[in-house]
Chains A and B, each alone.
Chain A
């Protein structure tokens, strides 16, 4: 075929001597031949082009269908805090609930017509709560009146005055994980979107939406005319379908290539899917705002982000603002540029009125309304806690489940406790630096708050700048724990038959290790204290007595107790471990003390309550796990010893730092050269562990008592644990003993009542000095006591 023109040219050369008329015909023939040539080339090109176009269309078709019918939207796994329970008697103040409402993006206003609003008058809060689908049951939106008094919620009724037993606020969104595109949205079916918003969207963005097939020549022509007459790019001719295509599949580049693809894909989309399907996708896809790295997509999340209310409850003027934002989410951002946003909203409203979407009366009302947006929702960022959530997800869940779109992860985070911790720790460290004339920002710290009854992690901070992600000291800082390890030694001793009143020698001790090294622990004050009772050796944290006791009981037994307490780390088999010469993180310590606070029952510390798949429901949920590791009676004695630490031992300053009526139990920990200051303890159903030190492991002037304890006390003061204390086990008796551990009369001076396992109490009742002959001694403690005997 390609030889045809060549033959033609050769023929004309051979006839070069022909007459003029023939020459003219020849020229004409040449022209015809050239035209045919071009037509032929054009045909060839067209065929090739058509083939390429068809192939490309096939490709685009696959792209459109795959995304639209598969995972249409990028919906990250959304992570939520624990929900605040509201009930008469709840230990929360009006201020705390208000701060939580603000973090949740509730708006303070006198008009409580929409959910997501509240009004505070003195100690009364009126709230229109939001509905929320919790993993266990849905919580409806409702109007509540809450009365507070003395730091507690005392009364809760509906707006009609009907008592309400319990309600839950919606949980705080604390972040998103997997797959990490940054897009976020709340998926809504089209029937949950107000009709006025749908009609208004079409009126503003694409009036011929129901007439065109994806592209609108009329719209393009109108936009072109408008742009030409205004000498600028004032209008776009894109249909809603084209906008959706651009958002879902393409970039925002203003190139012909992109525009061509956009048009083709719009046609394909319209060919495959109904107008309603396209509209629903648009309502969930469109980009309308930004919060840091989080992209706000779709009207559902947009309503919550800008107004703190669900989409279906928005007023006309709020809907108009959302529609107006599509044109320029950044330029018309109502928080940053309220004037532009207001102008844009009003333009939208006038379009709606002209198009008959709203009546004149509605228009007038809407025009008179303010922007009505909520404060910027709390950009809750708890990197240390999220770090823990990620690790526990990786441990307990299958990867493919976690990569599913739209997971909801309910966690145990208590926002009030977390915010309190994030305030107290930096403030406490700064106060210590001031008190001890240290350079500012040289101390570091970490803390963790848990709920002993369930093992929930309520709050965690990995450093003095809790808002920064990075080295999470609460989980990863392995530091020597010092005397925090001592409960294990004393627990082993109690299991071996010792009592709290057993005298133990505090004389200097030397222990030779297997490799011949000599371990010679010394007391903190460098003095020996004779033969204190076991409970005193513990409460005063005597190292020599503890080392002797541990060696008497047996190293293997002590290590066994450490293991049962929940320390899963591999520890060096050396006696110095008994005095805490072992590196553990604050999280490990919290796990260890959790077993003590849990009455001898091990419960793994847990940050995740449930993981919910959008289609398959609850993938996994928290199940209360308890495993008895110690006899509750033995643990009761250790708890008593820890309580004595706070009464008369190294933590006795808690008596003035916290209300004396509180039952507290805890232990200080200090390591060599004061490199680490620790305090671990609990009260009722709240436990906290605090570590203070330096990242470079340099010495500090701080001990557990002076460094970590004040911060622990401040944490507890804010948590206000309800003061419930387990009853005394039936197999435990309380017996008065003297300083030598002998049972004496309750009337003796300096006697103390200590708990014993029944049958292990010191034998008989002796004189106040422990003499076997009461008649020869000073029973009664004084002449006036004897007088009344």
Chain B
């Protein structure tokens, strides 16, 4: 039986290439039958969350922590610790937050406040100076950080 495509090589049909093309065409043809679309709600490769989204047909808003709310929570805990004099724990919480949001100027502000309460004025100044590199110019945060920056 003649194949769908026949390639000639030096004047005669090249059986190897003919078979190859036939195989490739078959693969392309049948691949549509066996492929599983990824965006199926029951696809086990998806996470529970992704399956919910597929069923809903649209992205679902994350009900819990975004990174910011997590950082807020760590900041709150740090304030609570600082209020009872647990400086080290407070600072550790702020550093955890800083590793998550390294450019959050308010974390630097809180850390500067903490250092000042510990009596480390020079440290507070340096932390505040660095915080200023992330604070929006002219904003309240920048003004708060500026209070720690002493003229040298």
Query: What is the interface of chain A, defined by CB distance below 8 A to chain B?
Result: 85, 87-89, 94, 121-124, 135-137, 145, 147-149, 154-157, 163-166, 451-454, 456, 598-601, 618, 621-628, 632, 684-685, 724, 726-727, 729-730
Which parts of B107-137 form the interface with A (CB within 8 Å)?
Answer: 111, 123, 126-127, 129-130, 132-134, 136-137
Residue contact B44 to A685, C-beta cutoff 8 Å: no
- Given the interface pairs A136-B93, A165-B64, A601-B130, the reply to whether A122 lies near B45 with Cβ below 8 Å is yes
Residue contact A155 to B64, C-beta cutoff 8 Å: yes
What chain A residues lie within 8 Å of B73 (beta carbons)?
A: 165-166
Query: What is the interface of chain B, defined by CB distance below 8 A to chain A?
Result: 43-50, 62-67, 69-70, 73-74, 88-89, 91-93, 95-96, 98-100, 102-103, 111, 123, 126-127, 129-130, 132-134, 136-138
Bound-state CA distance A729–B50 (Å) is 40
Bound-state CA distance A724–B101 (Å) is 9
Provide 9 A-B residue pairs closer than 8 Å at the C-beta atoms, listed in order of the A residue. A88-B64, A89-B65, A137-B92, A147-B47, A155-B63, A163-B64, A163-B65, A454-B98, A624-B127
What chain B residues lie within 8 Å of A166 (beta carbons)?
A: 65, 70, 73-74
What chain B residues lie within 8 Å of A136 (beta carbons)?
A: 88-89, 92-93
Nearest A residue to B90 by beta-carbon distance?
A136
3 tightest A-B CB contacts, nearest first: A123-B47, A730-B137, A147-B49
Bound-state CA distance A481–B46 (Å) is 47
What chain B residues lie within 8 Å of A601 (beta carbons)?
A: 126, 129-130, 133
- Given the interface pairs A85-B100, A136-B88, A730-B137, the reply to whether A154 lies near B130 with Cβ below 8 Å is no
What chain B residues lie within 8 Å of A137 (beta carbons)?
A: 89, 92
Bound-state CA distance A137–B70 (Å) is 17
What chain A residues lie within 8 Å of B65 (beta carbons)?
A: 87-89, 156, 163, 165-166
Bound-state CA distance A726–B132 (Å) is 10
Residue contact B62 to A88, C-beta cutoff 8 Å: yes
Bound-state CA distance A659–B73 (Å) is 32
What chain A residues lie within 8 Å of B47 (beta carbons)?
A: 94, 122-124, 147-149, 154-155
Residue contact B64 to A149, C-beta cutoff 8 Å: no
Residue contact B49 to A624, C-beta cutoff 8 Å: no
Bound-state CA distance A165–B126 (Å) is 31
Nearest B residue to A166 by beta-carbon distance?
B70
Residue from the set B47, B65, B103, B137 with the largest chain A CB neighbour count within 10 Å = B47
Choose among A94, A148, A164, A729 the residue that contacts B133 (Cβ–Cβ < 8 A): A729
Choose among A147, A600, A624 the residue that contacts B95 (Cβ–Cβ < 8 A): A624
Residue contact B130 to A628, C-beta cutoff 8 Å: yes
Residue contact A451 to B66, C-beta cutoff 8 Å: no
Q: How far is the CB of A291 from chain B (nearest CB, A)?
A: 31
Choose among A145, A599, A622 the residue that contacts B48 (Cβ–Cβ < 8 A): A145
Nearest A residue to B95 by beta-carbon distance?
A624
Bound-state CA distance A625–B130 (Å) is 11
Q: How far is the CB of B101 from chain A (nearest CB, A)?
A: 8
Residue contact B88 to A724, C-beta cutoff 8 Å: no
Residue contact A599 to B133, C-beta cutoff 8 Å: yes
What chain B residues lie within 8 Å of A451 (beta carbons)?
A: 99, 102
**Contacts A165-B69, A622-B95, A726-B103 supplied; 14 other A-B pairs, CB < 8 Å:** A87-B65, A94-B47, A123-B45, A145-B48, A147-B48, A149-B47, A164-B64, A165-B73, A166-B70, A166-B74, A601-B126, A624-B127, A626-B127, A726-B133
- Given the interface pairs A122-B44, A166-B73, the reply to whether A621 lies near B88 with Cβ below 8 Å is yes
Bound-state CA distance A729–B103 (Å) is 14
Bound-state CA distance A622–B69 (Å) is 25
Residue contact B137 to A85, C-beta cutoff 8 Å: no
- Given the interface pairs A136-B88, A137-B89, A155-B64, the reply to whether A149 lies near B49 with Cβ below 8 Å is yes
What chain B residues lie within 8 Å of A727 (beta carbons)?
A: 134, 136-137
What chain B residues lie within 8 Å of A163 (beta carbons)?
A: 63-65
What chain A residues lie within 8 Å of B93 (beta carbons)?
A: 136
Residue contact A87 to B67, C-beta cutoff 8 Å: yes
Nearest A residue to B67 by beta-carbon distance?
A89
Bound-state CA distance A480–B12 (Å) is 64
Choose among B130, B137, B138 the residue that contacts A599 (Cβ–Cβ < 8 A): B130
- Given the interface pairs A147-B50, A163-B64, the reply to whether A623 lies near B126 with Cβ below 8 Å is no
Bound-state CA distance A195–B3 (Å) is 78
Residue contact A154 to B62, C-beta cutoff 8 Å: yes
Residue contact A685 to B45, C-beta cutoff 8 Å: no
- Given the interface pairs A156-B64, A730-B137, the reply to whether A628 lies near B74 with Cβ below 8 Å is no
What chain A residues lie within 8 Å of B91 (beta carbons)?
A: 623-624
Residue contact B69 to A149, C-beta cutoff 8 Å: no
- Given the interface pairs A122-B44, A454-B95, A724-B102, the reply to whether A149 lies near B50 with Cβ below 8 Å is yes
What chain A residues lie within 8 Å of B66 (beta carbons)?
A: 88-89
Nearest B residue to A168 by beta-carbon distance?
B96
Nearest B residue to A163 by beta-carbon distance?
B64
What chain A residues lie within 8 Å of B99 (beta carbons)?
A: 85, 451, 453-454, 456
Choose among B44, B70, B126 the residue that contacts A121 (Cβ–Cβ < 8 A): B44
What chain A residues lie within 8 Å of B126 (beta carbons)?
A: 601, 626-628
What chain B residues lie within 8 Å of A621 (beta carbons)?
A: 88, 92
- Given the interface pairs A121-B44, A453-B98, A684-B102, the reply to whether A624 lies near B62 with Cβ below 8 Å is no
Bound-state CA distance A601–B131 (Å) is 11
Nearest B residue to A635 by beta-carbon distance?
B133
